Amino acid sequence: MLDDIAEKYNRPHRKTSALLSGLIYCPFCGKRLRVVSESNRWTNGKPRFKYVCPGYRENECTFQSVDGVLLDEFVVLQLSNLSDEDSEYFTKLLNQRASDIFKNSHNEQELTELKKKKAQLETAISNQVKNMRDASDDLKRFIQEDIQELSNELREVGILLEKLEDSKQNQMYAVRNIEEIKERLLSFGKYAKGAQPDVLVTLIQSFVERIYIVDENDERYCHIFIKGCTKEDYDEFFRATGYIFGSGENGNITSKLPLCDSDECSKYNMILTIPFCM
């Protein structure tokens, strides 16, 4: 069932070939925007459609719809330009994230120590088993108790060792994933040129985490989050900036706050922040 849901969002929209279906979220309520086609209307030779918040039609949200064709073309253009304009920045950022994965882990040292401990316990158990053969009946009971304690400790060490090995494997997968994201991101322009919608969808979703369109001073901004480049929770970040509204105990809507416009904020949390003209 989950695979069917993912497939529904990941494939190009049937009538419109929308490229960003499933990636755009409402900055007000956090819902995923839907693709709504406009019958017999065209933009740049493509069937016209909009990205619409499902809460808008139900009067639960005030987010204004976005022209789908223009946004798709805009995002593809901006991502294509990344390899030329920001390749050094994104390479450095993704390399740092890969480095942080290993820097924040002490698995290698712990693995070495646990493997050594395991070998020592196995040797101790083996020696005690040998001692059992020549021991008197009075001593055998004590040796058996010792073997039992060593076996219990060996089992606990084995559990810890397995967890650390799994963690190390996951870290390797994470680093490999970051390397793949970097390669797809920086070569997007080359692969996207002349590509069919289904190919573009696969390329975009391979390194774009999600997209928000926000309004500031009568202008719309496109915020593109790149996989592997964000640490903050999306909802918490936009709630802090006033773009995701929360209802208090009295049911009132909180007021809008200005976006963080510092270089650190826009580069670290909002990986790509670009004015989007409708």
State pTM to two decimals: 0.60
194 pLDDT exceeds 50? Answer: yes
pLDDT band at 23, cuts 50/70/90? very high
User: pLDDT tens digits for 241-267?
Assistant: 444 443 333 222 222 223 333 333 333
pLDDT digits (tens, 9 = 90+) for 120-167: 999 999 999 998 888 888 888 899 999 999 999 999 999 999 988 888
Question: Is the predicted pLDDT of residue 239 greater than 60, yes or no?
Answer: no
Q: Where are the domains of the chain?
A: 2-85+189-276, 99-185
For range 19-42, the mean pLDDT: 87
pLDDT of residue 12: 44
User: What is the residue-wise DSSP string for the chain?
Assistant: -HHHHHHHHHSPPTTT--SSTTTEE-TTT-PBPEEEEEEEEEETTEEEEEEE-HHHHTTS--PPPEEHHHHHHHHHHHHHHHHHHTHHHHHHHHHHHHHHHHHT--HHHHHHHHHHHHHHHHHHHHHHHHHHHH--HHHHHHHHHHHHHHHHHHHHHHHHHHHHHHHHHHHHHHHHHHHHHHHHHHTHHHHHTT--HHHHHHHHHHHEEEEEEEEETTEEEEEEEETTS--S-HHHHHHHTTSS--B-TT-PBPPP-PPP-SHHHHHHTSSEEEEE--
> Residue 74 pLDDT more than 80?
yes
